[in-house]
Chains A and B, each alone.
Chain A
């Protein structure tokens, strides 16, 4: 069979009506791929935390559409596809029915691939006749890939500790599953039954999505659909350029710190010089500290994904996210640094750097166009305890990507307790967790007074508390911004930075010295309390309307003392 690929400008021209129809159809296909994965998934991370994202590409690997899932995933799938096409499977090596997978952050030699080993990204080619016209793809965070600790938690110092690395390989060849590859992968997981279901679901999902993708070609004709793809990308680029043009030209610099409490040799600096010139923008991270022996290094693909995310936030979020959005953006990230890891850096918790990149760009943007920016948010927060189930003996996982306070903007208060920026995982139901893991939750509540004061108040963080009922529990914790807490903007105040306490209120109480740590062994019966940071305030607190302060006091989100201290407002006199 000869494989043709569509390249170069499309022959047909499109009208805005067909374009809109194709755009909606592509988005729906992506949403359905992600939706099926969640409904068929068996790991807790997929079925309850929905940690998976779908995207569609044209035959050249250009992003066309995505599901509304996890921003950091979405903006990485296309980068990985380019690496796969360039270094492993050129366009002429794809066949109908193939599924290619990879989870290797260092595939292709750089760090332009999956962000961490638990994310297995799968691609499926779509053929219209003999012509390769597109790809459907899913990025799924799988439960366990055989790292040093369950779920790759802990403080890995090199990639070899982060589990099996699968270079881009065909898991399915022309419809036939590679049983040997599958056996090898499953043999490396602590939960092979879960991984098998979820990996097969991932592959099947993009194949079903591929059929729906192909329907478009059959309904509207190949030339028209391909012309629509070009136009979708062109429109996104044009609109993004117009938005950038509206930002004043200039060079804006900002700095953020991670591991600022001294954990693991910190603090480390992230530096950004943002240059806006006409309708283009350059993000230069030169001056950022070198990569460290720890799992927080961001592959370049992660730095790019976080930057693309925040660019969409500060331009126009209604611009459809396609390849065109990124054309006006240049990213300079020194190799071997925290923002461009190279082998053998560990990178499981690259989200720590990614969240800081968002605040870094927002901080720079506050100088250029403050109304487009947002005060700092709570950052990267994980809370995970693993112990055998008391009755079944199976591995039980109580874990969440913890929500916290979101920064305020020029237009409103920050959101109280919400998944932050580049993550967007729903929190799992407590009642679902308690069935599967030996824990008893004691508290999930707003943390009063944790939002930064301001004309607009930052969102409050959360107090999460649970008791570990299982034996030999492994505990893993990550919370950013404990010393340099989420900063306010335009005169708004900083938020509370939160913290971790074991056995709070007992004679065995201990406050964890560092907000980020290695896996540690708790004792059966211990309680874990995590207070997540709030979001920074926006604007001078003196400008806040009294009715809003009173409403916050009534809701016990702000105490009368804090109202006096932060707002100079006395509720008794009011």
Chain B
């Protein structure tokens, strides 16, 4: 295989990258997303980029890696799909009741919970019961099961989720229901909770199972059609899709487990950011991916992004492991507004792409973060999206004056600076949330800024937090798509085995780990990974006895011994003190879960490198930029990225205009471009 294509479909645009590993050439392309059938846009883009790369029909030994927001879109847009849910009798409302808690505004008597994805008439109970140890308390009543399934058929259920009480401990009844469903509901796909995630907490597991069932039919249809079109177009290798855990999986596996594909786009960004950081020698980083409607922030320590099993999708809990990212409603299109009490707010409402920010001149009357950037001189109205869109300053001024400046009694310039300050404060909080909340001081970390708007704010955020290093990728708008090419095939296994670490029988644990390793390796081989390319990592979740949240610690390579476990005990106490501020050296520690992650060998880097050229780049012009206070506008040099060679350096203040993005380098910061033309921007007094 020499050619790899990464495709990242977003709401409005689909980003495509092509890497030819034979000659290292790298191509990028942005095409409109075709929401009615995503595969149309993808195929036309793939065809175009292949021909741009000079690959004819006979020359298409191509690997296809896909990232998509389709799962989220289906959940958000298709609330009325008739999905059936079978539960243990007496528990059909668990999905609707959830945890019965009011957040985030505890005083709002008009707040209402999100409606469940399955309406009550399609939630049906089946007589059966299994206890927490997996013992059958009440046998499955097959007659009642058939009756409920017939009812679901009459009601037109297009997919069925099954989540029985304690099925994580014994899936037998769920598995039997699947067999019965094959008879009673032929052709209707069924998702069992025990196939999706074998972890306790019935509401969260039911939610995850229902999400999977909900997106199953449309995802099967989409992936099948896409794979068929790709094959017809000559792309004959197994296509892969990005999953929430930061790895990729084959389309065939994804058709069974589409809930694992959640957050595929933002996760690809984290993987891409991590890959380029690692290549540049950066192992501890915060990724900051800012687009039109939101910003995604994630933390990477020792080149490993943090993950969580308590994530959410469109507000619904998902128990599957996914990279832990904080999303905030602060993107370029986020709207600034003044509340009843005269407070200036930014987001979470977004102007979207229609009408878009006021400066798009499409009738948007509300000032957005993009308008503020334009008014402060940070954006070039004539060179936005490579000049594809002209930004109208007059429209931005009008919106900022009417909605913010006049109500607050300040100048348009002050208002614009204020909007940026508040938006950046939200981002600073998000960065603290992923770092300080885990007991990690972000100041020793590098901030990686990407997405269309990330480079506009990255240096300012780093400055505010006291981070001394910023990394801006060579193609800030293509990090997600290129992340798809940097991802490994990844498969996570978990087994819950709660026991005190002191009483562990080492051969038993070793055997359990051994079984998980075999299962993980098999899952990888089934997806075409060669045995010699398989890598396996072991980890355990530990906690003080009685706690409900665990800390995950890696198990060192090699034999498990008493010494290894005792070293992990020490490490746990230290880690606990770092995260929570206290330790209990005499308290018993419990092992909760054994985890095994199988991955393929990490692929070589997708970015092309360039020869160094010490020539000092010259600016294409000067621009009046407002910074810090409205009275201190100054002329800053403006550079074009296309004219900056590898090895070049620029001192701030400066603006660097990328084809799809703009980087602001504040005074006191210095940028240097490396061999891949990633910019390393460093606080000068360091």
Contacts and interface: CB of A to CB of B under 8 A. Distances in A.
Contacts of A68: 103-106
B421 A444 contact: no
Interface stretch (A152-160, A250-258, A434-442, A499-507): A434-442
A219 B429 CA distance: 13
A434 B131 contact: yes
Given A430-B202, A446-B93, A318 B105 contact: yes
Contacts of A43: 546
A442 B94 CA distance: 12
Given A205-B581, A430-B202, A17 B421 contact: yes
A440 B130 CA distance: 10
Contacts of B426: 24
A130 interface: no
Contacts, number: 215
Contact of B132 (A23, A35, A205, A431): A431
Given A15-B418, A20-B425, A445-B91, A316 B549 contact: no
B91, B546, B549 pick with most chain A CB within 10 angstroms: B546
A21 B202 contact: no
Contacts of A38: 549
Interface in A18-42: 18-21, 23-25, 28, 32, 35-36, 38-42
B581 A444 contact: no
B341 interface: yes
Nearest to B426: A24
Given A16-B408, A431-B168, A555 B119 contact: yes
A554 B123 CA distance: 12
Nearest to A426: B99
A144 interface: no
Given A39-B549, A425-B101, A444-B90, A409 B109 contact: yes
A525 to B, nearest CB: 13
A321 interface: yes
A24 B426 CA distance: 8
A432 interface: yes
Nearest to A191: B546
A203 B408 contact: no
A419 B100 CA distance: 6
A289 interface: no
Contact of B584 (A15, A21, A196, A424): A196
Interface string B92-122: 1110110111111111111011000001110
User: How big is chain A's contact interface, by range?
Assistant: 35 or more
A194 B342 CA distance: 46
B110 A409 contact: yes
B107 A312 contact: yes
Nearest to A219: B464
B132 A42 contact: no
B342 A235 contact: yes
Contacts of B101: 50, 418-419, 424-427
A18 B343 CA distance: 10
Nearest to A427: B100
B100 A417 contact: yes
Contact of B545 (A193, A316, A427): A193
Contacts of B106: 68-69, 71, 424
A445 B582 contact: no
B343 A197 contact: no
Nearest to B466: A219
A230 interface: no
Contacts of A200: 582, 584
B151 interface: no
A204 B203 contact: no
A312 B343 CA distance: 18
A264 to B, nearest CB: 28
A178 interface: no
Contacts of A411: 110
Interface in A199-213: 200-201, 203-205, 207-208, 212
Interface stretch (B377-385, B432-440, B504-512): B432-440
Given A316-B340, A445-B91, A71 B107 contact: yes
Given A417-B100, A446-B120, A17 B422 contact: yes
B462 to A, nearest CB: 14
B90 A443 contact: yes
B377 to A, nearest CB: 18
Given A42-B546, A316-B340, A444 B107 contact: no
Nearest to B168: A431
A50 B102 CA distance: 12
Contact of B581 (A208, A321, A426, A555): A208
B232 interface: no
B580 A36 contact: yes
Given A415-B113, A429-B204, A435-B200, 20 more contacts: A15-B418, A16-B418, A17-B418, A17-B421, A20-B344, A20-B345, A24-B425, A36-B579, A36-B580, A50-B101, A194-B546, A200-B584, A235-B342, A317-B108, A318-B105, A411-B110, A418-B102, A432-B548, A446-B97, A554-B120
15 contacts: A36-B579, A47-B549, A201-B580, A203-B582, A239-B340, A312-B107, A317-B105, A403-B97, A417-B97, A431-B165, A432-B548, A434-B166, A442-B90, A556-B121, A557-B120
